[in-house]
Amino acid sequence: MDGFTYHDIFQTKGVEYLVIIAFLVLLVPFWIFVNKQSNIPKKVIETIRALTMDILKIPKGIFFNRNHTWAYLEKSGIAEVGLDDLLFHLTGDVKFGNLKQIGESIKKGELLAELVQNGKTLQVYSPISGDVIATNPLTHENPSLIKKDPFQQGWVYRIAPSNWKAETSYCYFGDDASSWFIKEMERFKDFIAVSIGRNSQETSMVILQEGGELCDNPLSELPGSVWMDFQHEFLDIDK
- What is the predicted pLDDT for the residue at 38? 41
Q: Could you tell me the pLDDT band of residue 26, with boundaries at 50, 70 and 90?
A: low
Domains along the chain with CATH numbers = 54-239 (2.40.50.100)
Instruction: Give the C-alpha separation, 162 to 65, whole Å.
Output: 17
Q: CA angle at residue 167 from 166 to 168, to 5 degrees?
A: 95
- What is the predicted pLDDT for the residue at 40? 35
Q: Could you tell me the pLDDT band of residue 213, with boundaries at 50, 70 and 90?
A: confident
Average pLDDT over residues 147-158: 95
Q: CA angle at residue 179 from 155 to 153, to 5 degrees?
A: 15
DSSP state of 11: G
Instruction: Give the C-alpha separation, 163 to 206, whole Å.
Output: 44
Instruction: Give the C-alpha separation, 37 to 33, whole Å.
Output: 6
pLDDT above 90 for 25: no
Biggest CA–CA distance in the chain, Å, is: 113
- What is the predicted pLDDT for the residue at 21? 59
Question: For 75-128, what is each residue's pLDDT tens digit?
Answer: 999 999 999 999 999 999 999 999 999 999 999 999 999 999 999 999 999 999
- What is the predicted pLDDT for the residue at 195? 79
Average pLDDT over residues 26-30: 52
- What is the predicted pLDDT for the residue at 178? 94
pLDDT, greater one: 43 or 79: 79
Q: Could you tell me the pLDDT band of residue 205, with boundaries at 50, 70 and 90?
A: very low
> Which residues is 79 bridged to in the sheet?
73, 159
DSSP 112-138: EEEEEETTEEEEEE-SS-EEEEEE-TH
Q: Could you tell me the pLDDT band of residue 169, with boundaries at 50, 70 and 90?
A: very high
Q: Could you tell me the pLDDT band of residue 11, with boundaries at 50, 70 and 90?
A: low
The arrangement of strands across the sheet holding 79-83 comes to: 63-64, 69-73, 79-83, 157-161, 130-135, 105-106
- What is the predicted pLDDT for the residue at 177? 95
- What is the predicted pLDDT for the residue at 215? 83
